[in-house]
Amino acid sequence: MQEIEKDRETLAGANLVDYGAERESFTWTAARALLDGLPAGGLNIAYEAVDRHVAHGRGDVVALRFLGDEGPGRELTYAELADETNRFANVLTGLGVAPGALMFGLSGRRPELYIAMLGALKARCGVSPLFSAFGPEPVRQRMERGHGQVLITTAAAYRQKVAPIRDELPDLHHVLLIGEGADAIDAPGVQPLAPLMESASGEFVIAPTDPEDTAFVHFTSGTTGMPKGAVHVHEAVVAHHVTGRLVLDLHPGDVYWCTADPGWVTGTSYGLVAPLTCGVTCIVDEAEFDAVRWYRILEEQRVTVWYTAPTALRMLMKAGPAAHAGRDLSGVRHVCSVGEPLNPEVVTWGDEELGLAIHDTWWQTETGAIMVANYAALPIRPGSMGRPVPGIDVRLVRHDDAGERVLEEDGSPVLVEEAGEEGELAIRAPWPSMMRAYLGAPERYAACFAGSEAASGKPLWYLSGDLARIDADGYVWFVGRGDDVIKSAGHLIGPFEVESVLMEHPAVAEAGVIGVPDPMVGEQVKAFVELKTGFEPSDGLRRELVALARRRLGSAVAPRQIDFLPHLPLTQSGKIMRRVLKARELGLPEGDLSTLGSTP
């Protein structure tokens, strides 16, 4: 087994030097004790992330440094962030927004968005950040399901994505506009945020917060049906903080850069909550990916810890050595990756060309925090996602030949016992950042678990839907997804959402959407369309369908390719057999998709 050994000197002082001992002694109660809790009682993420540092005399440390897209950007110390987030909490309270309301965010990575998210948590409102690349349809789906009462967005995004669907969002009472032209929109409940912030007080006392109160709702896509809103509570901060230390290896004085957008769970859990609770300085780049710019940021900002994703790393690799020529990256102490399979070639490239060891980590929107990781002080096995985080029990559930979970009579899952045998990655419930519900979908939530401690005395397992193997040393290896969800450039895309929009076109009888392997973004979205009688395939119709999908879904979700087929494969009950489409696309015998993943 080829392992990447690291420079011992840079590891002096790293957390989790002795994995076995840490697992042995770890308790969630001790992890909770690393945080302060609210002076008034309870636990509030924003207090732990911001005010706690001010209370401990660290208010002068820079909390967030925004690098402007074109202009200079803005820096906020922990003390300034406390003041600004207090103001925002007062703005919400002043508008009559009650605790428990849900605020949506729809903008680029701007300071006001980050301030609003933390301020809303102080006011005990829930927060649901959306991708700014979403079209009106994904925005409507999510805001309708979440009954969003407040939206923070830009004038441009409001005009393009929200105004056309505003009538369908009866719960949306307040739209707070940030950025350019914020005072130029005259519509009910729409107003610029800046004047409200200016006149609000910078003093706010967070009321006692129940650790089980909703903090974030992150929407994620499944195989069937519309997106699910995974509900996360304030208690999750215990897992964010401890993984910030143990996995990201954050220490006071670190300059940390998470490249993810808050529209993706990574950009919130690890772009905001975990690093701020660790008291480090976070870099937020407002611009989109650019290889030369990224290397410059790593050097000029003296980034010490970097959390990024395989698509971005592959793009850096493709940009070649010229993009980092002359850059000194020796200040970067620790690099982690998440979201899609991290190819061993990328790990080797990082090691050999940049002198950086890239540590893969695995988790999901539903798990709220990192569950499996390679650690700073321990060797990396390229291609493996690493070992379970202390406090987290990961096992594999056996699947039968038809790909169905094998369960005991009492409903508890049959676990894989042999090292190297494939199974579905399962995590023993509960843990602090485990989702507490899918909004309005109790049966979909219940379907994520198997076993029942109460009924059988056996543990309850959360079932991730991912297939994996665990080797004899406990390293977890990703095999593939057990469902039809598509991962493109790190984004989860539900095929049903895309199919539904294509079906709106009068020429379309059936639509089937799959992910086809792509060397850069992992998977590309591809649609197969069966036309109604009387319609003929043509390039014009294809262009029309692509345009419809882009307009309604946005560029991040719309299919890149559309093929016409005379008939789509359907089950007896009329469901699209996406696996058959996928096997056909890849030239594999039908149903034989087992060779798709990476294995040890």
SS3 label, residue 496: helix
Site for ligand 6R9 contains 481 (CB under 6 A): yes
Output 281 or 364, the one with its CB closest to ligand 6R9: 364
Sheet (strand 508-518) strand order:
508-518, 522-531, 561-564
- How much of the chain is helix, strand and coil, in % rounded to 5? 30, 25, 45
Site for ligand 6R9 contains 486 (CB under 6 A): no
Output 78 or 257, the one with its CB closest to ligand 6R9: 257
Contact criterion met (CB below 8 Å) for 319 and 331: no
| Shortest spacing between CB 395 and ligand 6R9, in angstroms | 16
* Binding window for ligand 6R9 (CB under 6 A); candidates: 84-92, 337-345, 524-532, 566-574: 337-345
| Shortest spacing between CB 478 and ligand 6R9, in angstroms | 4
SS3 label, residue 260: coil
The pair of structure tokens assigned to 166 is 């505003």
Site for ligand 6R9 contains 281 (CB under 6 A): no
The pair of structure tokens assigned to 436 is 């507490």
| Shortest spacing between CB 492 and ligand 6R9, in angstroms | 5
The sign of the torsion formed by the CA atoms of 415, 419, 422, 426 equals positive
Output 158 or 478, the one with its CB closest to ligand 6R9: 478
Cα 286 from Cα 427, distance rounded (Å): 35
What is the number of the residue whose Cβ is closest to ligand 6R9?
Answer: 365
* Binding window for ligand 6R9 (CB under 6 A); candidates: 356-364, 512-520, 528-536, 541-549: 356-364
* Binding window for ligand 6R9 (CB under 6 A); candidates: 41-49, 237-245, 332-340, 445-453: 332-340
Contact criterion met (CB below 8 Å) for 282 and 276: yes
Identify residues 447-466 at the interface with ligand 6R9 (CB under 6 A): 464, 466
Tell me which long-range contacts 170-174 makes (C-beta under 8 A, separation of at least 24).
171/147, 172/143, 172/148, 173/95, 173/97, 173/149, 174/95, 174/97, 174/149, 174/150
The pair of structure tokens assigned to 520 is 């850069």
Strands (E), 266-376: 281-285, 305-308, 334-337, 358-362, 372-373
| Shortest spacing between CB 178 and ligand 6R9, in angstroms | 26
Check residue 387 and report its DSSP letter. E
Identify residues 216-275 at the interface with ligand 6R9 (CB under 6 A): 220, 265-266
SS3 label, residue 539: helix
Output 249 or 466, the one with its CB closest to ligand 6R9: 466
| Shortest spacing between CB 366 and ligand 6R9, in angstroms | 7
Site for ligand 6R9 contains 522 (CB under 6 A): no
Cα 538 from Cα 548, distance rounded (Å): 15
Output 38 or 476, the one with its CB closest to ligand 6R9: 476
The pair of structure tokens assigned to 439 is 């909004």
Identify residues 115-174 at the interface with ligand 6R9 (CB under 6 A): none
Site for ligand 6R9 contains 499 (CB under 6 A): no
Residue 129, preceding peptide bond in cis (omega within 30° of 0): no
Site for ligand 6R9 contains 359 (CB under 6 A): no
| Shortest spacing between CB 342 and ligand 6R9, in angstroms | 6
Identify residues 379-438 at the interface with ligand 6R9 (CB under 6 A): 385
Burial 12-35 (b: 16+ CB within 10 A, else e): eebbbeebeebbeebebeebbeeb
Site for ligand 6R9 contains 324 (CB under 6 A): no
Strand partners, 103: 127, 150
Of 481, 570, 497, 487, the residue nearest 524 (C-alpha): 487
* Binding window for ligand 6R9 (CB under 6 A); candidates: 128-136, 354-362, 387-395, 585-593: 354-362
Identify residues 28-87 at the interface with ligand 6R9 (CB under 6 A): none
Of positions 281, 365, 374, 384, contacts ligand 6R9 by CB under 6 A? 365
Please count the residues of this chain forming the interface with ligand 6R9, following the rule CB under 6 A: 21
Site for ligand 6R9 contains 484 (CB under 6 A): no
Cα 10 from Cα 7, distance rounded (Å): 6
Contact criterion met (CB below 8 Å) for 277 and 230: no
The pair of structure tokens assigned to 509 is 């009888």
Of positions 360, 422, 484, 499, contacts ligand 6R9 by CB under 6 A? 360
Output 257 or 478, the one with its CB closest to ligand 6R9: 478
What residue ranges bind ligand 6R9 (CB under 6 A)? 220, 265-266, 338-342, 360-365, 385, 464, 466, 478, 481, 487, 492
